[in-house]
Chains A and B, each alone.
Chain A
Amino acid sequence: MEKRFELNASSEVLSPLRKELRQMLSQTGWEKKTTEEILLAADEALTNIIRHAYQGKPGKIAVSVITADDKIEIVLEDRGIKFDPTQVPSPELPRHKPGGLGIHFIRTIMDQMIYDDQDPEVNRLRLIKHKAKI
């Protein structure tokens, strides 16, 4: 199953997208705890784009969600300021200052976070998670 969402770079899009993703993940057999974690990872990536790539200014974000029997891939594309989150160092935990946890959450939850820099005008981030083998 593949679904593509064209979103405005606004915090108002976060909750409706989570609702769509929650439904997709439950239909493809992901357990509730992992579903909520994947939603969190996608949410953090999207929030980073709104806050840092577009810096609160209007812009567009494309989110593609590709589900297979054994994995999910979420691809986020934007045309904001170029930013590679894979280069951000891991924070020392616990952090006693507010902020700086979003990328840590993505790294912890997803199996792979891949930044694709091939298009000079597009940030393309791929988040991949495999289903745990029973």
Chain B
Amino acid sequence: MKIQSTNQGDINILELSGELDYHSSPELREKLTELTLKQAPKILVNLGGVDYMDSSGIATFVEAFQKAKRYQGRLILAALTPTVRGVFEIAKLDSIFEITSTVADAVKSLGAKA
């Protein structure tokens, strides 16, 4: 899996590509922990390039989501592929997370500030 970190104003964007499983999720967990430790207010994860995800991936997002919530931060997951969306649905977590169809929608929802 590849993770690319960028910023758009005050939004921290993680762009993921490849497969997110028990092998690759520790790397994502590390990146998200870095952001939640410094209390990043707006985190956007672009999942458009992720074609596979297991429960380790879900657990990584649940952990980051809970941490961000504690300091009133926001975490949005954007551009989920049908396979990845299906995993959120089986876990019944699709209504808990903030999920947007596109990255542009997520940026709009978070409201980037310079």
On A, residues with C-beta under 8 Å from B are: 11-12, 14-15, 18, 33, 36-37, 39-40, 43-44, 47, 50-51, 93-99, 101-102, 104-105, 108-109
Contact = CB atoms under 8 A, between A and B. Distances in A.
A33 B89 CA distance: 13
A44 B62 contact: no
Given A18-B52, A101-B55, A101-B59, A95 B21 contact: no
Contacts of B100: none
Contact of A98 (B54, B60, B90): B60
B66 A96 contact: yes
Interface in B37-83: 52, 54-56, 58-60, 62-63, 66, 82-83
Given A11-B22, A15-B23, A40-B87, A95 B55 contact: no
B86 interface: yes
Given A14-B22, A47-B22, A109 B92 contact: no
A61 to B, nearest CB: 13
B114 to A, nearest CB: 34
Contacts of B63: 98
Contacts of B83: 33, 36
A40 B54 contact: yes
- The residue among B55, B60, B91 with the most chain A CB atoms within 10 A of its own CB is B55
A94 B22 contact: no
Interface in B9-37: 19, 21-23
7 contacts: A33-B82, A44-B55, A93-B92, A95-B62, A97-B62, A98-B59, A98-B60
